Chain A
């Protein structure tokens, strides 16, 4: 396990190449923070251009003189920003923060372990992810810039090479390389999570006594293992098509930029199948940790158990399993056999059932509770609201005949931003406000937190709900400007969305100020500021380097024992009292 039972020494060992899951978790969260600021900045540039296509953006002309002559964004720059925005957000924010970030920090402690099963692989997985991020960012600095094929990188646009357009040369190759490297990091991470959950639980911590967050991370890591094992081959085949002259995804007879392409026999649909076989489970990888985090946190602030704990676990497992049966719903209009549309549509609609049950369980938990509306609790409740909004729009898209109209419109953009960009983010915020005291030994400022929450909730609804209206009117997505007769009229609503997006982005400054200020000047955090039951609240804030001070906690209870009237208060800690570590 650990090389020695003494804490590491030296700056590099302690802060850079640390084997400590707590340091690695924080490193992932810091990486996600850098990524989300970058991704959000890209979206501001995009939104500004959409609302005011002819106006020069200050500074842009100097940073990208070819792609934005005089500061006015060209279509290819817009598309490359859009590609990088999607890639950075989906991979480096939504797959890292809720899973690798919080999971790494919290999971071993919640299980009563000293560290993850393979600390060296853990460290490697973080640094591999960092390398992937740097390789991706390098695409900004090659002469033709980043790729313009979207985060979905459909072939043959992504496979042909330079002829297909600006950014499709080196930029696209760097993208494919970056994602392939990212896959390796994720697979190492999944390996660790699964082995840790199966093998390192402390005495008394049966699977059924694991906190909901631990279950969510476990299910997520199993999904991730299978999904990323398919994305990696897909990226390798794409790279081979681009540099080795193969034709996995490129059919014959293509004339691009007046050149007959030297490929033949490949299938663009093969890329779509491989990509979406990964891509759909990926979005559940983004949201399931949020399910677990909310299910874990809400009872603590409601002071009552989560309604239907076993049902919740079955639902999370069902969602994980079903996520592998629905990928074709991204391809209803792709030219695949129309009969298969029904085949994919039914499980897509059926997934609504466990998702609905989860929502009702959360709402049912609030019923009759003694809710403490801390910022973390508010983000949990906000999660329920925005997940309902995002899930319902999915119900439309799941039906092929309706998708015939809504596919490729802003309705889809509104849908996935609600479930991923908002709901998953709310899960991350809930986790941050909840575990910050444990991680840094200081409380976050609740007033700033509540302002952050309220303004963000209003802001995200103002930003993303109108996109559904645009979609209903037939407004097409991935357009860098609206010059069509029928889409020109949508500009006022686009301007409203841009204002809302900039407003919501500005509000996040409050969050950053809170993070920094609390690190330096926050009130000292007790071991268990929230009076919660799971093992992380039975150790000091911040924890000692080996979590449990060399002891092994013995677990006597499940994590859901709130609402009683016992002598020690209205909840029962998971660990037996004598094995709790106190300062």
Chain B
């Protein structure tokens, strides 16, 4: 017997997750600000151009996700997931470009934060991809009706990943 629910716990859960992730990236941001001021060794990191391509892919994926959500379409969700995976592949390419220039994780404090921000965002996005996959499976096998709550929650998370990326890109572009 289902428990009475006042609002969808799945969506509440994602909002709480958004709060947590926001707080932790705030902590990293303040660490970055402090670190920038505490040592004289901050070196500008030129952002690989591919980052902007990746950004477009991620924003596009938000669009395809909305299409998939409204139409309950596994096809559109698959495109979204593919775009997400392409984004991550693009991020890896950005790392390789930096590595070829000799800029690694511990090369200088600015590069530290480049890698930390992009890696953590990518990890969280992978989580979103897994969640999307779970929703797609349940859509296909929809025994108890379409998983509206899970889909709504997964979408909220995905859009937040795009918003978070825009913020990180802004930080990387202006401070690094």
Chain A residues close to B by CB (< 8 Å): 1, 5, 113-115, 117-118, 121, 187, 190-191, 194-196, 198-203, 225-226, 229-230, 232-234, 236-237, 240, 244-248, 251-252, 264-267, 269-270, 273-274, 277, 546, 550, 552
Contact = CB atoms under 8 A, between A and B. Distances in A.
Q: Which of A196, A247, A550 has the most CB of B within 10 A?
A: A247
A269 B37 CA distance: 12
A265 B9 contact: no
Interface residues of B, number: 34
A225 B105 contact: no
Contacts of B23: 225-226, 229-230
Contact of A266 (B4, B17, B39): B39
Interface string B1-39: 111111111001100110111011011100100110011
Given A200-B3, A252-B39, A265 B20 contact: no
5 contacts: A118-B13, A233-B27, A245-B105, A247-B109, A267-B35
A190 B17 CA distance: 10
A431 B41 CA distance: 54
Nearest to A115: B3
Q: Which A-B residue pairs are the 10 nearest by beta carbons? A: A265-B39, A229-B23, A245-B106, A267-B38, A117-B9, A233-B27, A230-B27, A229-B24, A265-B41, A199-B9
Interface string B27-59: 110010011001111100000000000000000
Contact of B5 (A199, A233, A269, A270): A199
A552 B24 contact: no
Given A199-B6, A201-B6, A552-B4, A264 B112 contact: no
Contacts of A270: 31, 34-35, 38
Contact of B16 (A5, A225, A244, A246): A225
Nearest to A224: B20
Contacts of B5: 199-200
B2 A1 contact: yes
A115 B9 CA distance: 12
A335 to B, nearest CB: 12
A274 B26 CA distance: 11
Given A195-B9, A265-B40, A203 B16 contact: no
B16 A195 contact: yes
Nearest to B19: A225
A190 B20 CA distance: 10
B28 to A, nearest CB: 5
A199 B7 contact: yes
Contacts of B4: 113, 200, 202-203, 552
Given A200-B5, A226-B23, A265-B41, A240 B112 contact: yes
Contacts of B116: 236, 240
Contacts of B42: 265
A191 B13 contact: yes
A420 B7 CA distance: 36
Contacts of B1: 5, 114, 546, 550
A236 B119 CA distance: 12
Contact of B105 (A190, A194, A240, A267): A240
Contacts of A269: 34
**B3, B4, B6 pick with most chain A CB within 10 angstroms:** B3
A247 to B, nearest CB: 7
B3 to A, nearest CB: 5
A266 B7 CA distance: 46
B27 A251 contact: no
A114 to B, nearest CB: 5
Contacts of A247: 39, 106, 109
Contacts of B21: 229
A229 B3 contact: no
A200 B31 contact: no
A187 B31 contact: no
B106 A251 contact: no
A191 B105 CA distance: 32
A576 B6 CA distance: 20
B4 to A, nearest CB: 6
Interface in B111-170: 112, 116
Contacts of B2: 1
Given A244-B105, A251-B38, A191 B17 contact: yes
A274 B31 contact: yes
Nearest to B29: A233
Nearest to B12: A195
Contacts of B34: 267, 269-270, 273
B39 A199 contact: no
Given A1-B3, A113-B3, A266-B35, A274 B9 contact: no
A229 B28 CA distance: 10
B38 A274 contact: no
